[in-house]
Structure 1
């Protein structure tokens, strides 16, 4: 046990510890353990199958699983130690890393997948820098999933209506919720920055400070829990579903990415004279080539593809351009030191570890293989044909054939991820929707 963890728990009079493992869907799995038991037995054991549950709690077919169902050895990461600010009793939370009995990382752990990619960058003297932007909706409570969701009632006693993008007053409608969100984030050292009202009705966006991808993936993972808990406290729901409301824009997790040369501290995307470097163009080229083949990592659910439709503030291709919000890969105005590429493709429903790993993997392949991008687009990119799969089935087929990405992320991880998503889609396909009952039941 780390002395730092022991002293921190004693100093803050912690009584319980939430021992958390992020699974492939981004759900927090694990155990809640009394502090004294945690101090005497900090390592934890869980079966690997915990990591590959579908969002409904089922498992891939047996052909994807080790039928002996072995335990993983789980060890806490001291850097992830934080308060659980909404807990009634003093409670801490720790994110665990997953290992096999021989000490090797578990390939299916999302944290291991991101670490694997970061190690590839590090071996070449590169250090990725990332900054996520999180969009989400506030909703009225929706205990019956057969009823469409509605916007919540604000402090004026009225539900929000219409489009109120960037409205200060619209954000102030929900001040009590956001005060709790900021307090909870501060208590957990989540480095959130700007808050804005997005295009949709009661749709918000919070941006994070740029930094280390693994640390930020942890923060995004915890932020989702935080926002949901704060909303519950005020009799609301908060959702990170990609497209929760019919007729409203979807929610994204945009990722601003750059790379630092570890030896010089210089942004690899800029030459010494301030012009864009070949590395900058090759990174974009890798994203253009591989993003359409890896969409299950950026659009993981059947609902995700409802967001990726033209003219609703979501990209439909991987064109790139300077300060162009209609493309999938936007290059914001910046100084040479701040030159970066914004990946606008991922929905906010992604697993942050996997989405960050996959996006950096695409760029990495562009860098090491010197992949040139197409010319930048200065017009409306919605006029360009779509490059993405039309749904989950097609996306999984394309990912199955993308061997280069599997080599970077890990073949076993990709195989099990595909198996999990195939099981999830099969479960979805069994459900008869309200649309089918409405239009087909008595009319065909």
Structure 2
């Protein structure tokens, strides 16, 4: 902890936000004076925070106590000294430190999302492989709205007007929010978040931030923090930023595209390319694994009821696990690149997904393909939207059913995690069903 102590002293940090990610991706933890943080070198939290729903509820008691200690004990959360960042929007000098979760015996807790990604990376390390990812995060800027029954509206930009129509790749439309994005870039730079390109996406006031390729755990940490950073920058400018998969009717959904490749850990060469530059068998098996197991792991990439609105017909999101070169209608796209940089872009995860779990699931599916020697289908030429033989589950209920009965996911992610995750999402789905929608009031109130 000496280096961390020096880092905190150099920046005159007075408070530390001790963070863990729950299943949703919400930052849970404690805010503590720096002196107490250094004295305790971690924190304790109830295990139950890892089974909390987005509404703050928990799974039913019988299942709850089968997955957690009946005494509702604390877990031990230890700081990762490689995941220490300033909080540039804080009024006092503050640091945020991402923690890992352990039981009292020092074993990693299976329900921890960050631990799940570490488990998958360990599988690659055992084979001498080093995965590399490059996420792309889409999001919407909207007017702030206090009434959740009201549709979201585009925010007012520098011109004093709301954006109208589709403005894909428009520089001027993106510049409407320059003050907000200047703060976002400054705060990301202060934290060392490795963001790259800003793009205006297809939707009204929809944007995309690309991250530079790198280590999956580091980038999952950065996405976890980036969501906090962007929301804070938006609030400073009286705007809201949302990573909902489908926040606005008749507008495109927001994705978290994951570019993934695998290097030989010793030589640094891509295992996705043969010596002559052609696609290797391991690359094809990796795609085969994604095709075979994404339908079972889909709730980790599309975790909410709203996630599946992004997959509705006539949307811009692919609803399949087809693959093709330079083909954005496929769920799995192979971008044009040099052999060393050959990668697969998984276009299925939503922006609402927990980055730790989406990246872990995507890499695990590819790993299983390489381990089992799974061959992919033939690559698609032309449009893949209308293809029906490799469609995904249509609802969260269907997806959870498939995940619950996937032996491979249980084997590699653990029974407690799969059971707990499915249970949390079912509680959220039941809560959703209890809410009467505006559509029901509009069309059924006086008609049936």
TM-score by length of 1: 0.99
Give the structure 1 partner of residue 373 of structure 2: 370
Equivalent residue, structure 2, for 1:388:
392
Tell me whether 1:361 sits opposite 2:364 in the alignment: yes
* Mapping for residues 177-192 of structure 1, pairs under 5 Å: 177-192=180-195
Asked if structure 2 preserves the Cα contact closer than 8 Å seen for 1:361 and 1:409, the reply is: no
Contact 1:362 1:405 in 2 (8 A): no
Partner of 2:430: 426
Give the C-alpha shift of residue 434 in structure 1: 1.0
Q: Which residue of structure 2 lines up, in the alignment, with residue 347 of structure 1?
A: 350
Partner residue in 2 for 1:40? 39
Partner of 1:122: 125
Matches within 5 A, 1:276-425: 276-385=279-388, 387-425=391-429
The structural deviation recorded for 1:63 is 2.5
Paired residue secondary structure (2:5): helix
Q: After superposition, what is the alpha-carbon deviation per residue over 1:68-106, rounded to whole angstroms, capped at 9, x for unaligned?
A: 212100100001111000000100000000000001000
* 2-structure distance, mates of 1:409, 1:375: 30
Whole-angstrom CA distance in 1 between matches of 2:324 and 2:166: 26
Q: Deviations over 1:213-237 (max 9, x none)?
A: 0000000000000000000000000
2:274 to 251, 268, 271: 271
* d(CA) in 2 for partners of 1:311, 1:122: 41
Question: How much is the aligned-residue C-alpha RMSD, in angstroms?
Answer: 0.8
1:158 aligns with 2:157: no
Aligned-partner SS, 2:28: strand
* 1:26 corresponding residue in structure 2: 25
Q: Quote how far apart the aligned CAs of 1:243 are.
A: 0.3
- Once residues 410 and 185 of structure 1 are traced to their aligned partners in structure 2, the CA distance between those partners, rounded to angstroms, is 35
Give the conservation status (yes or no) of the 8 Å contact 1:358–1:409.
no
Q: Which residue of 1 aligns with 2:197?
A: 194
Query: More displaced, 176-185 or 307-316?
Result: 307-316
Q: Is the 8 A contact 1:293 1:402 kept in 2?
A: yes
SS in 2 for 1:97: strand
Deviation at 1:348, TM superposition (A): 0.3
Are 1:309 and 1:315, in contact at CA under 8 Å, matched by a contact in 2?
Answer: no
Q: Which runs of 5+ in 1 are unaligned?
A: none
Q: Any idea what SS the aligned residue of 1:80 has?
A: strand
Quote how far apart the aligned CAs of 1:51 are: 1.2
Equivalent residue number for residue 50 of structure 1:
49
Q: Distance in 2 between matches of 1:92 and 1:266?
A: 37
Q: Secondary structure at the match of 1:78?
A: strand
Structure 1 residue 205 corresponds to structure 2 residue 208? yes
Which residues of 2 match residues 65-144 of structure 1 at below 5 A? 65=64, 66=68, 67-144=70-147
C-alpha separation in 2, matches of 1:227 and 1:164: 21
**Bigger Cα displacement from structure 2, 434-443 vs 284-293:** 434-443
Of 173-182 and 407-416, the range deviating more from structure 2: 407-416
1:173 matched to 2:166: no
Partner of 1:17: 16
Tell me which residue corresponds to 1:245: 248
Q: Please report the TM-score for the alignment, with normalisation by the length of structure 2.
A: 0.98
How many pairs does the alignment contain? 443
The 2-side partners of 1:183 and 1:134 are apart by: 18
Q: Is the 8 Å Cα contact of residues 294 and 358 (structure 1) preserved in structure 2?
A: yes
